[in-house]
Amino acid sequence: RELYGVREWGAGFFGVSDSGELQVTAKPGSFEHAVSIPEVIEGIQARGLDMPVLLRIENILDTQISLLNDNFRSAIESLDYKGSYLGAYPIKVNQQQQVVEAVTRHGKAYHHGLEAGSKAELIAAMGMLRDTEAVLVCNGYKDEEFIDLGLHATQLGFKCIMVIEMPGELPTIISRSKELGIKPNLGVRVKLSSQANGLWAESGGDRSIFGLNAAQIIEVIDTLKDAEMLDCLQLLHYHLGSQIPNIREIRNAVAEASRVYAGLTHEGAGMRYLDLGGGLAVDYDGTQTNFMSSRNYTTDEYCVDVVEGVMTVLDEQGVEHPTIITESGRALVAYYSMLLFNVLESARFEVEPLPDALPEETNIHIRHIFETLQTLNLRNIQECFNDALYYRDEIRQAFSQGNMSFRERALGDRVFWETVNRIALLAKDLPSLPHELEGITQALSDIYYCNFSVFQSLPDAWAIGQLFPVMPVHRLEERPTREGLLADITCDCDGKIDRFIDSHGVKRTMPLHELKDSEEYYLGAFLVGAYQETLGDLHNLLGDTNVVTIRIREGGGFDFVGELEGDTVEDILSYVEYDTRMLFNRFRETAENAVREGRITPVQRKETLQAYKNGLQGYTYFER
Ligand code: PLP
């Protein structure tokens, strides 16, 4: 029950029922009306949708939006801050229409706006946002078309703010604004010297790709002054990077940015907004530390520290308190999606029992490992491991030089693995594992083959070693008896999850239950709502998974409120430019040739073509 750290990483949204099922609630910490995930899976399958499925819990997103806005509101109230707070959800974090729709729907009560980083995102935002009290922040490299769209949005009454990211954007903004006769709301992105640690932190600091340094900002001011548009400059923006685990780094950046804000005000700009970008982290591993996959602060602390940090500097500088904007994405959407998948089979680590003695003529290196095994004890564990590795290499060499039969090589492998296995069993009694033995549990673990693609559904786990909580969603009342890692169905050696969350950092295997013939075994990867959906790729032509959205009812139970069928094989082939009609016609010709040559009958041709057609229309994942 406690094995998978649900209480630590679940932020109160996840718990385990008495019957050992994983439960989810939209009210953190309150499980009275929690929903059983296996029950949701049953409902999904009854509706004819296959695993893997991306499950979204709509009201978890609502809870997170409220949490951020309410925490900022109470920090503002308790500190007597004179400005206000506005959120801007960055579309890049999860661009799916359903997600942006849910953000704008629930966010309306807080005037939670959107952030767009490209033309396509701005076009989506202009169509989705209905609330003219909310901000629409435009970041990213802007061409004339992007700028025109931003100006039209402003004319329509949106609080659209175009943030100057590169010096070259300003002349175009000025000339387009004069030509269209629309006064823009402008912001400027500053490169701070404060830097943060973290997997995504390169976007902050002096060397960051985007943003202007102090001299360039002064040039912007002078250019705007010359164009009599300095009042248009209303916002200062920075983005330190995503997933900032350490609150100290956040506070340092707020202090530095507030000083720049004050400087811009003193220069005569029409400053009203201070936009801190993203960075509010998610505690993926539940350690509440400044590890990369965690954060050493709460949302409440973040809000208080931000408001206090801005106030301290601006009060000292005699500058009016601005509206604080944050572009939190990860923290809003991570919890709301989970990937559910079934296990197809497992490869167990098992060594056939060895005989009591080896035949006389057995190769000398094999006999050496066998002797090592006989003398193994807690004190010589490291020495035996070194010997076993040495003789294993000798055996391999003897085989490749033709001095050993294949059958003998197989015996050598058995003796080696049994030795390693016994070493691993003994090592469990050691207070700490010698460095060389650290990988041993992984080498001896089972492999559970799972119905999903890491590249499609958890790209950050593959690309940057991001940790996500992964665990079974049922049988949690039963002690797992196996240790394993997870392989996906891409047949790629990188297509695996072999880093799992642990209170001490990272583990290379996870506890898993024995598979049963009579029952599917379901696992979930959690906190996958941010960045994973659109960063995923089509490796091995495995496409988008089915997506199901549920809403948990106040008084118990849940409703299916949305479903999107995943890609079919036909969809995927068309993404990589195949004409599937042409493919079918060509295949039909091949089948007709086979009839002509007498290899199949016309009826067999019909069956083959039907199978091909079904394949084209089927799901790209393993179907039972
Ligand atoms: N704003 C900008 C400009 C970004 O580049 C990003 C993503 O890195 C975000 C906001 C979202 O950051 P986060 O997901 O950490 O909230």
Residues 122-132 pLDDT 10s: 999 999 999 99
pLDDT at 208: 65
Q: For residue 623, name the pLDDT band (cuts at 50, 70, 90).
A: very high
pLDDT, tens only, 295-324: 999 999 999 999 999 999 999 999 999 999
Q: Whose CA is nearest to atom 4 of ligand 1?
A: 278
Mean pLDDT over residues 415-427, rounded? 91
pLDDT at 535: 85
Pocket test for ligand 1, best of 95, 242, 293 (most atoms within 8 A of CB): 242
**CA-CA distance, 42 to 255, in Å (whole number)?**
51
Looking from the CA of residue 93, the nearest atom of ligand 1 is 14
363 near 312, Cβ under 8 Å? Answer: no
pLDDT at 527: 98
pLDDT at 198: 61
pLDDT at 200: 58
CA 95 to ligand 1 centroid distance, Å? 13
What residues does ligand 1 touch, defined as CB less than 6 Å away?
A: 90, 93, 115, 139, 200, 203, 239, 242-243, 277-280, 327-330, 530
CA 271 to ligand 1 centroid distance, Å? 22
Looking from the CA of residue 328, the nearest atom of ligand 1 is 16
Confidence check: pLDDT of 338 > 90: yes
Pocket test for ligand 1, best of 67, 68, 92, 531 (most atoms within 8 A of CB): 92
- For the chain, give the mean pLDDT: 94
pLDDT at 611: 97
CA dihedral 138, 142, 144, 146 (to 10 degrees): -40
pLDDT at 482: 93
pLDDT at 310: 98
Mean pLDDT over residues 424-438, rounded? 79
* 353 preceded by a cis bond (ω within 30 of 0): no
Helix/strand/coil (H/E/C) assignment for every residue in 177-239: HHHHCCCCEEEEEECCCCCCCCCEHHHCCCCCCCCECHHHHHHHHHHHHHCCCHHHEEEEECC
Confidence check: pLDDT of 196 > 80: no
Q: Which of 462, 610, 488 is nearest to 545 (CA)?
A: 488
Q: For residue 203, name the pLDDT band (cuts at 50, 70, 90).
A: low
pLDDT at 444: 85
Q: Whose CA is nearest to atom 12 of ligand 1?
A: 278
Looking from the CA of residue 243, the nearest atom of ligand 1 is 15
68 near 88, Cβ under 8 Å? Answer: no
**CA-CA distance, 236 to 325, in Å (whole number)?**
10
Q: Which of 216, 311, 619, 219 is nearest to 453 (CA)?
A: 619
Q: For residue 624, name the pLDDT band (cuts at 50, 70, 90).
A: confident
CA 328 to ligand 1 centroid distance, Å? 6
pLDDT at 435: 75
Q: For residue 431, name the pLDDT band (cuts at 50, 70, 90).
A: confident
CA 220 to ligand 1 centroid distance, Å? 24
Q: Which of 199, 282, 206 is nearest to 241 (CA)?
A: 199
Confidence check: pLDDT of 199 > 70: no
Confidence check: pLDDT of 578 > 90: yes
- Strand pairing report for 470-472 and 522-525: antiparallel
Q: For residue 204, name the pLDDT band (cuts at 50, 70, 90).
A: low
Looking from the CA of residue 330, the nearest atom of ligand 1 is 14
Confidence check: pLDDT of 570 > 90: yes
Q: Whose CA is nearest to atom 11 of ligand 1?
A: 278
Mean pLDDT over residues 61-81, rounded? 98
CA 447 to ligand 1 centroid distance, Å? 35
CA 135 to ligand 1 centroid distance, Å? 16
Confidence check: pLDDT of 207 > 70: no
